[in-house]
Amino acid sequence: MASARRRPALPRRVGRVYLDIGRVYRDWWSGILLLAVVVFVPLGLIDAAAAQVDVESLQLDSGIKVFALIAAAGAVTTTGLLGEVFFAGAISISLTHPEGDGPPRVRQIARRINYWRLILLDIAYVVMVAAGLLLLLLPGIAAFVLFGLSGPAVELEERTVRGALARSYRLVRTDFWLVFWVLVPIELAGDALGSGAEHLVHNLLGDTFFSTWLAEVASNIILSPLFAVAAVLLLVGLIGASGGSGPRIRSLSGGEEEELRLVA
């Protein structure tokens, strides 16, 4: 009796996903960064506003102030997630489109995006992660991972907000640690580099709302595409691993179209 094919070790599979992320980013960087500018320049205003909250200056009773401090910390932590699910959905259109030799123009993507679904999904995702982080740390991390692929599910599979969350949950729970070791390090690295960029910009331009907004926009434009590309790759790979047939992720290495395959 033939033995079942063994799944490659987790570190190898995680490394393969990161290599595929690098390939996609290398091949499509111009379109990815242009779309990131369109999405994150306005959203940077929300991030900057949250970062400017100074609860200590408010005249509140001690009990209320403690709650406000916790809520403010949660807001600052999770507003950085705003736009990531939306952006992942938008990127999925770019990476799987069937037309032409290059990524579609921003105008083409804009006509195809399910705006309200992705906006509502983005808000729901942030609320779930924030609630989990405020209650206990682990539920927040679990929500971040389990529902992190919902944005591409809206665009690639035409799912509703609830359907996309359920789809992400079902797929991720079959391979939780693969998704964890891809999405969580990207998010932590993004937060760390974002904080570094903010300190640098503040040192150069002073501690102003504009400098905070500039730092948030710069860090989001550089790092959020990594989360988005990872989410699309993982969704398509996990669909294939579960026996389904998903869209192709395309690369243009050497001028030839190739299909990226997730080691599942």
What is the reported pLDDT for 219?
A: 77
> For residue 9, what is the DSSP state?
P
Both structure tokens of 263: 């080691």
What is the reported pLDDT for 242?
A: 81
Q: Please tell me whether residue 213 adopts helix, strand or coil conformation.
A: helix
φ/ψ of 250, rounded to 5, equals -110, 145
Q: In the chain, which residues have pLDDT < 70?
A: 1-6, 46-83, 98-103, 245-246, 250-264
What is the reported pLDDT for 47?
A: 65
Contact between 172 and 198 (Cβ < 8 Å): no
What is the reported pLDDT for 78?
A: 45
SS3 content of the chain, % helix, strand, coil (to 5): 75, 0, 25
What is the reported pLDDT for 220?
A: 79
Contact between 246 and 236 (Cβ < 8 Å): yes
Residue 68, classified by CB atoms within 10 Å of its CB into exposed (0-12), middle (13-18) or buried (19+), is middle
What is the reported pLDDT for 1?
A: 42
Measured distance CA(18)–CA(255) in Å, rounded = 21
